[in-house]
Amino acid sequence: MAGKKTRIILDTNVLYAGLYSSKGASFKVLKAIEKGRLIKGLKI
């Protein structure tokens, strides 16, 4: 299962917090998406 990507639903609060501060779990989630380790799902 190495290389298997995890699919997540990204809440707007996580997005905002990750963009606002580079300290914390929200920022780490955004970095994981950027590096391709997570696949984001967006529902409008």
For residue 11, tell me if it sits in a domain: yes
- What's the confidence (pLDDT) of residue 37? 86
For residue 1, tell me if it sits in a domain: no
- What's the confidence (pLDDT) of residue 44? 55
Could you list the residue range(s) of the whole structural domain that residue 18 is in?
6-41
Give Cα 10 distance to the centre of its chain: 7
Total domains, the chain: 1
- What's the confidence (pLDDT) of residue 43? 59
- What's the confidence (pLDDT) of residue 9? 84
pLDDT in tens, the chain (44 residues): 566 778 888 888 988 999 999 999 999 999 998 998 888 776 55
17 CB contacts (<8 Å, ≥6 apart)?
24, 26, 27
For 31, the token pair is 């970095």
Q: Quote the pTM value.
A: 0.73
- What's the confidence (pLDDT) of residue 38? 84
